Amino acid sequence: MDRHLSPILFGANFGDSEAPTHTAFGLATAWEMGFKENWLQRAIAQNIELVIAACREAGLTEETWMFWAREFAVESVGIIDILLVSESGRIAIVETKLSYNPEGRRSVVAQTLEYAIHFPSVDSSRLPPVPELNGRPFADQDSVQRRIQEGDFLIIITGDRLDSRAVKLGQSLLGRHLVRGWELALVEVAVFRAVPDDGSRQGLLVPHLRGAIIPERRQVVRIKVEGDRTRVDVETAAPVATDAPPKLTEEEFFAKLPVDQRDFADELRVLRANYPSVVFRFEKTFGTTALIFETRKKNILELYPDGQIKFREWEFEKDLGQELGSYYKEKLRSLFPKAMKSYTSIERLDAGRAEQLLALLKEILGKVSFPPT
């Protein structure tokens, strides 16, 4: 049990200052609630935020992800419980282990690392098709293949009560050095049941991070299975230099833009000042920093420091509503046919289309529920 997570969740009436708080949910286990690992795997497949939200909060990812596959066999190694894929083609290997499973101990870390070691050797013809969103590939197939070969994985171990020894092994094995840029997230999905328990088996799932390890240096990891025992040997290799740039600040980002886009950038700042729903978010993606232009916390425009532009059209209708979102999408398809072709496509923003895009943004923002100040 994570010492930072209370075993009791309290109910309160915030409209009545005299009303006392009361015990609403108490900590339970998967065994007590009567569900098995296949139930948790289905739940994650249906709502990947059960594991991704905690990784995002920890800064391990800022991307959008989708479910890719379940129970994927890696020859001579075993079966990966769940595979996820990000919009840039990065793969997440998810292993579920519930507390009542005797294998949900130290061996789960070594087992999951073994999947990561062998996954790049899987024949590409055996990989499941890239999932689609609104009838289009969610990620570029070549990008998926490249990141698999690079071994660029997000490794997630999840369960209702992660064994403290598994947490310590993960920290000792991966905390200082890591092979191929792996990142490890230990996501505990705590189970709470209603108090008093009426037998309905209704409850809450509360994902939280037990540990997160981000690589600084690299090693060779050798995993040997001898009978029922698993041994992990780590051989330190020389540090690998990285030229990955840090995330840019707002001023640094705007200073890097091509000269012919400075006016456009200034106009985006005017829109932010005039419309309370508009915010800028700066996100590391595709090896650089992107300016995410958001309204009501939804992405409607991405600008890159080299002057390229990109759109995540699945966000439009969530934010703007069906009618306005569809209108914005169709206008963008005529303005930026290349960038709107797929979710990883980008297109350079020239001065003429920048002016048209600004007019479109003003039109759209003028129709959402937040008027300009």
pLDDT at 177: 40
Q: Is the pLDDT of residue 80 over 90?
A: yes
Alpha-carbon separation of residue 218 from 101, 175, 184, 242, 269 (angstroms): 32, 11, 14, 11, 41
- With contact defined as beta carbons under 8 Å apart, do 240 and 218 qualify? yes
Q: How confident is the model at residue 110 (pLDDT cuts 50, 70, 90)?
A: confident
When pLDDT is averaged across residues 328-354 and rounded to a whole number, the result is 85
Looking at per-residue pLDDT, the higher value among 135 and 253 belongs to 253
Q: Which range, of 39-53, 66-80, 103-117, 199-213, averages the lowest pLDDT? A: 103-117
Q: Is the pLDDT of residue 238 over 70?
A: no
pLDDT at 347: 86
> For helices 262-274 and 351-367, what crossing angle results, to 10°?
10
- With contact defined as beta carbons under 8 Å apart, do 182 and 174 qualify? yes
Closest CA to 83 of 56, 113, 48, 132: 48
Q: How confident is the model at residue 245 (pLDDT cuts 50, 70, 90)?
A: low
Q: Is the pLDDT of residue 220 over 60?
A: no
Q: Is the pLDDT of residue 313 over 80?
A: no
When pLDDT is averaged across residues 14-32 and rounded to a whole number, the result is 89
Can you tell me the distance from the alpha carbon of 308 to that of 310, in angstroms, rounded to the nearest whole number?
7
When pLDDT is averaged across residues 330-350 and rounded to a whole number, the result is 83
Closest CA to 112 of 30, 182, 53: 182
Strands of the chain, DSSP E:
8-11, 22-28, 65-74, 78-86, 91-96, 132-133, 136-137, 153-159, 183-194, 203-213, 219-226, 229-236, 278-285, 288-295, 298-303, 308-310, 347-348
Can you tell me the distance from the alpha carbon of 351 to that of 371, in angstroms, rounded to the nearest whole number?
27
**pTM for this prediction:** 0.63
pLDDT in tens, 253-312: 999 999 888 899 999 999 999 998 899 988 876 667 889 898 877 788 989 998 889 887
pLDDT at 141: 84
pLDDT at 166: 63
Q: Give every CB contact of residue 141 below 8 A, 6+ residues apart in sequence.
A: 130
N residues, the chain: 373
Closest CA to 331 of 358, 304, 292: 358
pLDDT at 215: 59
pLDDT at 266: 92
- With contact defined as beta carbons under 8 Å apart, do 354 and 261 qualify? yes
When pLDDT is averaged across residues 88-111 and rounded to a whole number, the result is 78
When pLDDT is averaged across residues 90-97 and rounded to a whole number, the result is 93
Instruction: Determine if the peptide bond prior to 196 is cis (ω within 30°).
Output: yes
Q: Give every CB contact of residue 19 below 8 A, 6+ residues apart in sequence.
A: 12, 13
If one looks up domain 250-367 in CATH, what number appears? 3.90.1150
Can you tell me the distance from the alpha carbon of 91 to that of 44, in angstroms, rounded to the nearest whole number?
15
- What are the extents of the domains in the chain? 8-236, 250-367
- With contact defined as beta carbons under 8 Å apart, do 316 and 325 qualify? yes
pLDDT at 207: 92
Q: Is the pLDDT of residue 75 over 70?
A: yes
Can you tell me the distance from the alpha carbon of 369 to that of 367, in angstroms, rounded to the nearest whole number?
7
Residues forming a β-bridge with 290: 283
The dihedral built from the CA positions of residue 353, 357, 358 and 362, taken in this order, carries a sign that is positive
Q: Is the pLDDT of residue 11 over 80?
A: yes
Q: Which range, of 37-46, 165-174, 239-248, 285-294, averages the lowest pLDDT? A: 239-248
Do the strands 183-194 and 153-159 form a parallel or antiparallel pair, or are they unpaired? Answer: parallel
Looking at per-residue pLDDT, the higher value among 61 and 83 belongs to 83
pLDDT in tens, 144-200: 888 888 788 999 999 888 766 666 666 655 544 444 567 888 899 999 998 888 777
pLDDT at 179: 47
